[in-house]
Amino acid sequence: MKKTKWQMRAYYLDSCNCDWGCPCQFNARPTHGNCDSVIRIHIIKGNYGSIEFARLNMAWIGSWPGPIHEGHGKISYYIDERASDDQFEALSKIITGGASGGPFAVYGSSADTVQEPRRAKIAFQARSTAQ
């Protein structure tokens, strides 16, 4: 089965309950024993085959009882309510790791409970500190 090629340039913002530097990113124990995280993505430019999805947002919320690499997590996925049905389906494949390539499959493979993507109003605002 041939996989559809995709690409994405995006602002990516994640936060978790650990100390700065996120120990799980380096195969260490989470600061407080568990990992709770939220990731927000604002797509600057991207496509899944012929489906374009610039200026849309995605988010996911995850929780693991220990470090991410030990698994047993729970993940909920959210896709911008402004997405068309085709964009929603394409972004669902990407964020859940169902599309070839990309980092998203790593998180999905570490979860026992995965909620299907839902539409949501997702705000993403960046401010420049340059003067």
> Tell me: the pLDDT tens digits for 61-76?
999 999 988 999 999 9
* Domain edges within the chain: 6-120
The more confident residue out of 4 and 128 is 4
- Return the pLDDT at 82: 97
Tell me the whole-structure pTM to 2 decimals.
0.87
pLDDT of residue 118: 98
pLDDT of residue 36: 94
Residues 6 or more apart whose Cβ sits within 8 Å of residue 73 = 35, 62, 63, 64, 65, 107, 110, 111, 112, 113
Q: What is the pLDDT of residues 93-114, one digit of tens each?
A: 999 988 877 778 888 888 999 9
